Amino acid sequence: MSRYDRAITVFSPDGHLFQVEYAQEAVKKGSTAVGVRGKDIVVLGVEKKSVAQLQEERTVRKICTIDDHVCMAFAGLTADARVIVNKARIECQSHRLTVEDPVTVEYITRYIATVKQRYTQSNGRRPFGLSALIVGFDDDGSPHLYQTDPSGTYHAWKANAIGRSAKTVREFLEENYNADIATNDVETVKLTIKALLEVVQSGSKSMEIAVMRRNHPLQVNFSAEVEKVVAEIEKQKEEEAEKKQKKMKKSS
């Protein structure tokens, strides 16, 4: 098996591209990112890994704006992400120049996916070790959330998670996402935070939430505001737990 993972352009006998699969493993080690698409709002949430005492917090940016109306979060190798984000930013402006229109979210996702695929099919290069969640609004106002992975495929999602414990978060989203939440901006943000709380260890301090509304630039909410919402969520959880206890007391 190991004979087939040296050069990326080689298939294994059973049809695997091992380098791509190893890249996907690298993604699974990265910190979690969650994206939820509402009707008038798109939300990205990322787990912030704790920084060393002397490190300045703000230099670690996991949510990046690609253009006024598109932004992305990623899970995986930060350095690879920087290259992708750079290329995507240039492509957005290039598109504006040649087509005289801002990119659609699908277009820029397709571009990023094409770049990633190219690196899975050329000699001497390794694939990008990151998955990206790309959110934004098209010119016609429709919200979108796309996910790309190291193999160069992309899909549209209503809500998704990538990185560490992505499966757990995705299951939570599957159970709790519904069309009603999507129509309410506040509920959409709450859902994102709740989903992240499933896997994040120390609560609101290690989360970064970014919100984009139609025709508005990206708004990154820092710990203070996130804490407020988390406190609300905790309060709700306590109230529900109390109710359950009361019920149990009654039935016993």
Partner 1 sequence: MALAAICKSNFSSKSSLFGLPSNKEVFEQESEDCFAIPTAPQAAAYLSHLNNPESNVHIKFHHGTTTLAFKFNHGVVVATDSRATAGSYIASQTVKKVIEINPYLLGTMAGGAADCSFWERVLAKQCRVYELRNKERISVAAASKVLANMVYNYKGMGLSMGTMICGWDKRGPGLYYVDSDGQRLNGSMFAVGSGATYAYGVMDAGYAEDMSVKDALELGKRAIYHATHRDAYSGGYVNLYHMKETGWEHISWTDVKDLHYAYKNEKK
Q: How far is the CB of 109 from partner 1 (least distance, A)?
A: 12
Neighbouring CB atoms inside 10 A of 90's CB total: 11
Handedness of CA 155, 59, 70, 208 (dihedral sign): positive
Q: Which is nearer to partner 1, 99 or 186 (CB)?
A: 99
- Joined tokens for residue 251: 């039935």
Closest CA to 37 of 159, 140, 125, 120: 159
Q: What is each CA distance from 56 to 36, 50, 51, 59, 201, in whole angstroms?
A: 29, 11, 8, 6, 21
Helix (H) or strand (E) holding 88: helix 78-99
The CA distance from 206 to 234, in Å, is 16
- Is residue 183 near partner 1 by the rule CB under 8 A? no
- Joined tokens for residue 163: 């990185």
Q: Which is nearer to partner 1, 55 or 114 (CB)?
A: 114
- Is residue 94 near partner 1 by the rule CB under 8 A? yes
Q: Which is nearer to partner 1, 88 or 182 (CB)?
A: 88
Choice from 37, 95, 116, 194 touching partner 1 (CB under 8 A): 95
Choice from 14, 15, 54, 100 touching partner 1 (CB under 8 A): 100
Binding mask 101-140 for partner 1 (x = CB under 8 A): x--x--x---x--x--------------------------
Q: How far is the CB of 141 from partner 1 (least distance, A)?
A: 13
Among the listed ranges 26-34, 93-101, 120-128, 188-196, the one in contact with partner 1 (CB under 8 A) is: 93-101
**Contact residues for partner 1 (CB under 8 A)?**
91, 94-95, 97-101, 104, 107, 111, 114
